[in-house]
Amino acid sequence: MIPLLAWGTLVASAIALGIYAEPPVMRSMRAAGRIAPRLPAPATDIRALLYQLGVGSVTWFVAAAALPFLVVGARRINFDRDRNRAVLGVIAAFIAIVILSASIDYLTTFPAQNRPPVMAFLPMGMRLHFLPWFAVFGAVGVFEARRRARVAEIERERLRAEAAEQRLMALSSQLQPHFLFNTLQGISTLIHRDPKAADEMLTKLSDLLRDVLGNRDRTRVTLSDEIRYARTYLEIAQIRFGPRLTFEIDVPDELHRASVPLFLLQPLIENALKHGVGAQIRGGHIVIRGRRHGDRVQIAVSDDGPGFGGRVPAERVGLGNTRERLSAAFPNDHRLSLASESGAIVSMDIPWREEAATT
């Protein structure tokens, strides 16, 4: 809402301009009880021109005083609740202010001793004041309609973003039990065979869970955090696979501020472990690589396993969840692609954003 001081300045400026625009001859005609001719002579100076345009008339002064109240009233009208009642209210207010303006014009134009009958003046006065007030009401209505349209658009965007964040959080929550189950299953296989390795694996899992739970209310994290989670998860897997698993993380420091969905890399690493490293007796090598090109960030997870073999993999918990989370985080502004070049490669192209948005 426009501050009261601004409204006061606007009204005072309009009144001052109206006083300036009314030439002395008009004031003398009012004092004599005469009305200006309907077709005045062409304006000879700026004051006369302003008055011919309506500046300085009774309607001008009343509009200047009433405009703040019209704007406030327009903002308070709720067309969604009862449209018919609201429309009737606007029409009633329009008629009332036209009558009021014509009445003020009647009282200020004619001195008390020379006033014509009210009912004789009122029809003519209402005709004179109808169009100016119709323009004023129309301008206020257009201004308010545009303001409401902007507010509605902002609200729609807010709700859309909120829905996307909630969807992203739900998808992230879906991953965590799946990841935890697989890790605990790996620990259970080591408890009797290699208790020391199982203890080390459990320690690293607790470190990872501490980090993840610290971000449980967030849907996005910086890429540096995501790389830290991925490294810890790969170290846990390395205890399980032993020398059969090696990994490399090639992400420049300049990318560490990028904002990405939480647990973006974990399902892709899990797929690489299952179908790349675990599918080969000799094990395998996993690479996480990141690059920035202008305002885009490319992140790829690859392994040197058998690859996709010309088939399209089923998008279940891993790829399907990743694709949906990218759609929720970066709608219509991302790309997820699969390739087989000496193994499987899953590449993601997302916009560069530095903030880590929270729900």
Burial (CB < 10 A; 0-12, 13-18, 19+), residue 57, is buried
Distances (CA, A) of 145 to 1, 88, 280: 15, 18, 66
CA distance linking residue 246 with residue 242, whole number of Å: 9
pTM over 0.85: no
**CA nearest 260: which of 293, 290, 287?**
290
Q: Which residues contact 252 (CB under 8 A, 6 or more apart)?
A: 290, 291, 292
Pull the structure tokens for residue 250.
């090639």
With contact defined as beta carbons under 8 Å apart, do 34 and 26 qualify? no
pLDDT tens digit string along 43-59? 666 766 666 566 667 77
The residues, any chain, with a CB within 8 Å of residue 174's CB and separated by 6 or more, are: 317, 321
What is the DSSP code (8-state) at residue 37? P
Based on the number of CB atoms within 10 Å of its own CB, is 245 exposed (0-12), middle (13-18) or buried (19 or more)?
buried
pLDDT digits (tens, 9 = 90+) for 312-357: 555 555 687 788 888 888 888 899 998 887 788 999 999 998 865 4
- Block residue for tokens 């399907």: 320
Q: Taking the chain, what is the end-to-end CA distance rounded to the nearest angstrom?
A: 29
Residues 6+ positions from 318 with CB-CB distance below 8 Å? 267, 268, 270, 271
CA–CA dist 121, 217 (Å, integer): 71
Q: How far apart are CA 324 and CA 335, in angstroms?
A: 11
Please tell me the predicted confidence (pLDDT) of residue 264.
86
Three-state DSSP state, 252:
coil
Residue 352 has a pLDDT of: 93
269 CB-contact burial (10 Å; exposed 0-12 / middle 13-18 / buried 19+) = buried
d(CA 186, CA 290): 29
Contact 334, 350 (CB under 8 A): yes
φ, ψ dihedrals at 139, nearest 5°? -65, -45
Using CA atoms, how far residue 11 sits from 65, 86, 112, 144, in Å, is 6, 27, 28, 19
- Measured between alpha carbons, how far is 168 from 359 in angstroms, rounded to an integer? 10
pLDDT at residue 291, as a whole number: 94
CB 244 within 8 A of CB 277: yes
Please identify every stretch of the chain with a pLDDT value under 70, giving residue numbers as ranges: 1-45, 47-56, 159-179, 182, 215-217, 309-318, 355-359
Task: Return the CATH superfamily for domain 191-351.
Answer: Histidine kinase-like ATPase, C-terminal domain (3.30.565.10)
Residues 6+ apart with CB under 8 A from 91: none
Residue holding tokens 């790349």? 276
Q: Look-up: residue for tokens 């005609």?
A: 29
State the Cα–Cα distance between residues 204 and 194, nearest whole angstrom: 16
Q: Can you say whether residue 343 is alpha, beta or left, with left for phi > 0 and alpha for psi between -120 and 50 degrees? A: left
Domain with CATH 3.30.565.10 in the chain: 191-351
Q: What is the pLDDT of residue 170?
A: 55
